[in-house]
Structure 1
Amino acid sequence: MMQECIEHTLCECPLVRSIWLKCWAWWNIPPPLQLMIKDVIFRSMIPSNCKGVGKALQGVFYTLMWSIWKWRNKVLHSHPDLKSAARREDIFPQVQSLSLLWISNRCNKKSFDWKNWISNPRGVFN
């Protein structure tokens, strides 16, 4: 088995990259030319003047990375007959719901609506 690096696992793998692209599209942010973990962790790619939006997007990124890691483990440790189905699983809806759960518990002074969160996550902070 080939040894993985964290950049490939969380950013560069084509399957993972497609999930990141969905996230960028959801937040209406142009994707970076090259995605690197250090940029995600240190928030250097969050294009927002609003502190609340920046923190929320950071939470979405952390949720996305956790979901990717969980999905990766599911693919690696599934029964051989189930690996193909696990690999095709779309984890993006999970990212949306878990990030809303995380953010709504962190921002308890704000009321979050699922429909608005899905259609315009930046708009919930206006």
Structure 2
Amino acid sequence: MEIMQQALQIFYAISGLKINLLKSSVFGIGVDRDEVEGLGRHFGCKADSLPMAMSYLGIPVGARMNRIKEWKPLFNKLSKRLAGWNAKLLSIGGRLTLLSAVLGSLDCWKWSLEGKHIFTVRNVRHYIDRTSLTVSSPPTRWNPLIPKKVNMFIWRLLRNAIPTRMNLFARGIDVNTFMCVLCTAGIDFNDHLFGSCSFSIQVWKKLRSWLQIDDLSLALPHQMMAWLDTYHKEILEAIFFLWWWCFWKHRNNLVFEKEATSSKNVFSPIVSLSFLWMSSRCKSTIFSWPLWRISPRHLM
């Protein structure tokens, strides 16, 4: 018994896979029942005897899986997981996400889908994605000249997933007002904040003058991204990403710290942080702070 217990501990140390003895059973072939029960008490698992209906990860072993009744243990487990949810309150995407999460939380089990070999939960999730979900999101943009936190913010911004007051309300969170904290004349949502807010326009005018871009008007982020696609300059794209991130950060400072509204508080960090981050990340280009303060146009 001691050797067997040590073997299990060594297996766990090497593989990282720990055996759950509470869900395990010990069997004896040609061994007295009392000895089997003694082993069960020693290891802390159940003592069983053959023949019996064995199961692996909730699915009967050796059963005919083309019979509906053989799938009942799995259906019952899913029903218990979903019992506390009201499907009527969820959208189609929400239902699929919930089902995917429940299936993903179960241990990996195998089954046959459309009579084709063996599939896992991952295969089923991919099948649902291919047949039921439409993909409309643009490809993820990742700029190496700025930190990951800024790239992650841009990813959320382009998917309308940042916590504006309208988005919070849509998720069932109470907000005391829907008004934009920057201009107090519009609604706090993406299109207003980054497209038509009077404060955003002030910041854009300073930024456009610094970048020496006279032929571009303020537009929504995804429209700006389309314009950047034609320009093919990482430095310019990085400055735009930093602009949106600094703007959102200033907006949050107004909401949570009651900071004074000033376009300078947004524009100055864009200039200083862009120089700091890009000069340290772009080793192939020589950066000059006096020239950068005037305009980074000579590098674009």
Structure-2-length-normalised TM-score = 0.35
For 1:108, the aligned partner's letter is: K
Question: 2:206, 2:267 within 8 Å by CA — same for their partners in 1?
Answer: yes
Distance in 2 separating the partners of 1:18 and 1:31: 17
User: RMSD of the alignment, in Å?
Assistant: 2.2
Higher relative contact order at CA 8 Å, sep ≥6: structure 1 or structure 2?
A: 1
Structure of larger gyration radius: 2
Instruction: Give 2:223's aligned residue.
Output: 39
Give secondary structure in 1 for the equivalent of 2:227: coil
1:32 Cα deviation from its structure 2 partner? 3.2
The alignment covers a number of residue pairs equal to 115
Instruction: Give 1:69's aligned residue.
Output: 248
Distance in 2 separating the partners of 1:43 and 1:26: 21
Instruction: Provide structure 1 residue ranges, at least 5 long, that are not aligned to the other structure.
Output: none
Aligned mate of 2:287, from 99, 105, 112: 112
Instruction: Give 1:58's aligned residue.
Output: 237
Runs of 4+ aligned residues of structure 1 deviating over 2 Å after TM superposition are 31-34, 45-48
1:104 Cα deviation from its structure 2 partner? 1.7
1:34 Cα deviation from its structure 2 partner? 4.7
Question: 1:10, 1:37 within 8 Å by CA — same for their partners in 2?
Answer: yes
For 2:286, the aligned partner's letter is: S
1:98 partnered with 2:98: no
Identity over the aligned pairs, expressed in percent? 25
Give secondary structure in 2 for the equivalent of 1:87: coil
Instruction: Provide structure 2 residue ranges, at least 5 long, that are not aligned to the other structure.
Output: 1-176, 179-186
1:16 Cα deviation from its structure 2 partner? 1.4
Give secondary structure in 1 for the equivalent of 2:208: helix
Give secondary structure in 1 for the equivalent of 2:260: helix
Distance in 2 separating the partners of 1:43 and 1:75: 30
Distance in 2 separating the partners of 1:70 and 1:118: 22
Instruction: Give 2:262's aligned residue.
Output: 88
